[in-house]
Amino acid sequence: MPKKRSVAQVGRSLCKNKYTVNWAITRVCNFKCEYCVAYRKRDKATMPSKDDLERAIRNISLIKKRRIDLSLTGGEPTLVKGLSGLVSSFFALAGSKAKKVTILSNMSRDHKYFDQFFRGIECPEKVKFIGSFHPTQIDLDRFIEHGIAVNSNGGVFSAWLLAVPGQVDFIRHAYDSMLTEGLDARVKIVRDGSKVDGRYAKEELDWVVHAIGEEEKNVDLLWSSGRWESYSQNDVLAKDFNHFRGMRCAGGMIRVAIEDDGSVYRAVCERGKVAPYGNIFSGEVDWSFMDNPMICGYNECRCGLAT
Ligand code: SF4
Ligand code: SF4
């Protein structure tokens, strides 16, 4: 039997100067999506205090990289009081290192909210809202209206539509409506572990694959033989290459994962499994972990780093 090939590294470089800080700023949310992964923790979810936010942003600004992208997720980040001030402080404290802020939102906040949010931001074009569309929780017209509010305030809006099997006709209608209104929209496929969800009808899957089309990122894999090959993310899964145990991973080197309690991990796969590398709320973070790659301890990556 031929020996199974193993992946030694994902991505050409482990040492880019671009660094993404992925911070789950709160688990509090005003929606109740049945598939929510943050849902289980929501009963005990807390909001960061004003002092927490100030200490956190000072700490993040100290990261020694040429470019820092701050990504805020939840829960629902727009429920955090002082979010606009936090974003402004990041641009002010990190200076030329602060390239972009991305906020993953359910887009429940209205025009008034976005008018106020952007009033305090000097460079709105560096602030992107990714609107995750949850059709059981928000009406399509309201979602579109709120997305337009981001763009009309000078920000950047992009919608993410999860193509849930059995609901693809509606998602297709929503996607077409967003494009008609001049909004950027991306379709996301539903996976079951490392495989595409088997519940898709053929016509549904055909459309989803077509809609995802060219936006699929390429993944560069270095095999243990020393050979580089490039695949689409879907191909990595379809060809069953998603076996990364023992591989060098860029978690911590190009990205960091921060929990709602301020704990710092190199990637979300470490959450709760190792002691955190410090806490951004207390000001004690040893960022030296970013000098060395992680060695993956898992058969599949669900952190979004490798696929
Ligand atoms: S909007 Fe997001 S965080 Fe809120 S319940 Fe839905 S999936 Fe969970
Ligand atoms: S599971 Fe963790 S260590 Fe493994 S590839 Fe994904 S992010 Fe890296």
Per the CB < 8 A criterion, the answer to whether 237 and 307 are in contact is yes
- CATH topology (fold) of 16-216+254-279: TIM Barrel (3.20.20)
Task: Return the number of other C-beta atoms located less than 10 Å from residue 198's C-beta.
Answer: 8
Give the residue carrying structure tokens 């309690």: 261
State the pLDDT at residue 302.
Answer: 65
The phi and psi torsions of 118 (rounded to 5 degrees) equal: -80, -15
Does the C-beta of 160 come closer than 6 Å to ligand 1? no
List the residue whose alpha carbon is closest to atom 4 of ligand 2: 296
3-state secondary structure of 19: strand
CA-based R_g, the chain, Å:
20
Tell me how many degrees the CA angle 256-68-8 measures, rounded to the nearest 5: 45
Residue nearest to atom 6 of ligand 1 (CA): 33
Residue 199 structure tokens? 């519940």
- Is the CB of 29 inside a 6 Å radius of any atom of ligand 1? yes
Tell me the backbone φ, ψ of residue 155, rounded to 5 degrees: -80, -175
- The pick from 296, 299, 300, 302 for probing ligand 2's pocket by mutation, whose C-beta has the most ligand atoms within 8 angstroms, reads 296
The pLDDT value given to residue 174? 98
SS3 content of the chain, % helix, strand, coil (to 5): 35, 25, 40
Q: Which two tokens stand for residue 142?
A: 């309201």
Q: What is the largest CA-CA distance in the chain?
A: 64
- What are the residue boundaries of the structural domains of the chain, listed by start? 16-216+254-279
Peptide bond into 75 cis (omega under 30): yes
41 CA to centre of ligand 1 in angstroms: 11
Cβ of 138 below 6 Å from ligand 1: no
Here the tokens at position 132 are 């995750």
Q: What is the pLDDT along the chain (307 residues), one digit of tens a residue?
A: 445 667 777 766 665 678 999 999 999 999 998 878 765 556 678 899 999 999 999 999 999 888 999 999 999 999 999 999 999 999 999 999 999 999 999 999 999 999 999 998 999 999 999 999 999 999 999 999 999 999 999 999 999 999 999 999 999 999 999 999 999 999 988 877 667 888 999 999 999 988 887 555 677 788 888 888 888 776 776 677 777 788 888 888 888 999 999 999 999 889 888 999 999 998 778 888 888 888 888 877 766 655 4
Cβ-based neighbour number of residue 38 at 10 Å: 18
As a whole number of angstroms, the distance between CA 304 and CA 302 comes to 6
- Global pTM value: 0.89
Ligand 1 centroid–CA 152 distance in Å is 25
